[in-house]
């Protein structure tokens, strides 16, 4: 029986954003990653091109995050040293990029100086050969010092720098331009602010082809539905021709899921919910698998088992 034509024609293509620079391109990376480029919704290969598959970046921080033991143990002793942790992510967990957060730069933790942070970046660039995503500690004042130092230490490496918000974007745009990096445009689970940040970046002279969008990620069960729908709406708008929404999208899964009780409290307290050793990585994997359907192109992930499951899921989705 004949069935109707079920393909849709999308007007626009999602921007292609490459992160990392090889020797020929002025950096030292052996591998680069390219996000976006799709001309249809996630995985609908019957009606459009999917030139680049979603990428997993491994979560690394300069201090041990406030995480449950099941996650810390799964990562191993390397979690105590950001460079070793990054190396293990690349060599053992098989991630294609490193997401580095300087949580230790916060006054509430180690109050690490911008110089010290820059040294860590230098060491990491020497040790791993994948592209880097660099963040400060999340405190605007301190990050205004930390980010320029880290950015400068990695100049020419075409890193992805996090993050430009409505309030701090000028600093971040300036360093990305000066040191030739790509930029993360961040919005607080609000599609209009997401668009607004992109407008501000454009007005500040940045090409939107240098931008990856982040709608503050929510853990599964804790506002996942809001973020899922914003990612989906942004992706549809981008494909329908809204150039301001046509950026690849990032989700910080590892940074969010491990703080919720489903991923951090064991069955001695959550009776009947199953061993945390299994439940924690599943919480991360299901959250990631869900966001992939809504239009996530870059996933930051932490647990080696969740990373492994999602690597194979991505291959089975294509």
Please, which residue, 4 or 205, has the CB nearer to another protein?
4
Q: In this structure, how many other beta carbons lie within 10 angstroms of the beta carbon of residue 78?
A: 16
Q: How far is the CB of 229 from another protein (least distance, A)?
A: 5
Angle between helices 191-203 and 169-179 in degrees, nearest 10: 50
Please, which residue, 10 or 208, has the CB nearer to another protein?
10
Judge whether 60 and 98 are in contact, CB under 8 Å: yes
Please, which residue, 19 or 257, has the CB nearer to another protein?
257
Residue 314 gets which letter from DSSP? H
Please, which residue, 177 or 308, has the CB nearer to another protein?
308
Angle between helices 169-179 and 140-153 in degrees, nearest 10: 10
3-class SS at 56? strand
Q: How far is the CB of 61 from another protein (least distance, A)?
A: 14
Rounded CA gap, 311 and 314, in Å?
A: 5
Q: How far is the CB of 51 from another protein (least distance, A)?
A: 16
Rounded CA gap, 316 and 318, in Å?
A: 6
Judge whether 265 and 219 are in contact, CB under 8 Å: no
Q: How far is the CB of 26 from another protein (least distance, A)?
A: 37
Judge whether 18 and 181 are in contact, CB under 8 Å: no
Please, which residue, 65 or 148, has the CB nearer to another protein?
65
Q: How far is the CB of 274 from another protein (least distance, A)?
A: 3
Q: How far is the CB of 275 from another protein (least distance, A)?
A: 6
Please, which residue, 69 or 225, has the CB nearer to another protein?
225
Q: How far is the CB of 158 from another protein (least distance, A)?
A: 30
Rounded CA gap, 48 and 21, in Å?
A: 28
Residues at the interface with another protein (CB under 8 A) = 1-4, 6, 8, 41-46, 66, 108, 218, 220-226, 228-229, 232-233, 236, 259-262, 264-265, 272-275, 278-279, 281-283, 285-287, 289-290, 292-293, 305, 309-310, 312-313, 316-318
**298 DSSP β-pair partners:** 55, 250
**Nearest CA among 238, 202, 200, 228 for reference residue 287:** 228
Residue 195 gets which letter from DSSP? H
Phi first, then psi, for residue 156 (nearest 5°) are 80, -10
Please, which residue, 123 or 223, has the CB nearer to another protein?
223
Please, which residue, 204 or 236, has the CB nearer to another protein?
236
Burial class (CB in 10 A: 0-12, 13-18, 19+), 205: exposed
Q: How far is the CB of 214 from another protein (least distance, A)?
A: 16
């Amino acid at each position: 029986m004949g069935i109707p034509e079920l393909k849709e024609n999308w007007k626009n293509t999602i921007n292609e954003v490459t992160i990392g620079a090889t020797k020929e391109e002025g950096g030292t990376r052996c591998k680069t990653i390219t996000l976006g480029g799709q001309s249809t919704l996630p995985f609908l290969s019957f009606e459009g091109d999917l030139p680049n598959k979603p990428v997993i970046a491994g979560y690394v921080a300069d201090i041990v995050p406030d995480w449950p033991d099941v996650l810390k143990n799964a990562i191993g002793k390397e979690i105590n040293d950001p460079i070793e942790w990054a190396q293990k992510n690349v060599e053992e967990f098989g991630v294609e990029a490193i997401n580095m957060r300087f949580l230790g730069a916060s006054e509430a933790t180690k109050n690490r100086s911008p110089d010290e942070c820059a040294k860590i970046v230098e060491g990491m660039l020497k040790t791993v050969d994948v592209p880097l995503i660099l963040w400060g500690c999340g405190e605007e004042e301190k990050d205004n010092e930390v980010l320029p130092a880290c950015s400068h230490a990695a100049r020419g490496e075409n890193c992805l720098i996090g993050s430009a918000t409505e309030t701090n974007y000028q600093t971040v745009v300036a360093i990305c331009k000066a040191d030739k990096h790509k930029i993360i445009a961040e919005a607080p689970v609000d599609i209009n602010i997401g668009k607004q940040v992109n407008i501000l970046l454009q007005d500040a002279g940045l090409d939107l082809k240098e931008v990856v969008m982040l709608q503050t990620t929510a853990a599964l069960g804790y506002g996942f539905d809001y973020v899922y729908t914003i990612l989906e709406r942004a992706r549809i708008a981008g494909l329908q021709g809204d150039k301001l929404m046509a950026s690849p999208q990032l989700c910080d899964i590892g940074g969010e899921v491990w703080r919720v009780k489903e991923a951090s409290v064991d069955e001695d307290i959550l009776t009947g919910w199953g061993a945390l050793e299994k439940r924690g990585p599943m919480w991360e994997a299901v959250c990631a698998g869900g966001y992939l359907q809504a239009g996530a192109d870059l996933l930051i992930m932490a647990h080696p088992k969740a990373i492994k499951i999602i690597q194979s899921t991505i291959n089975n989705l294509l």
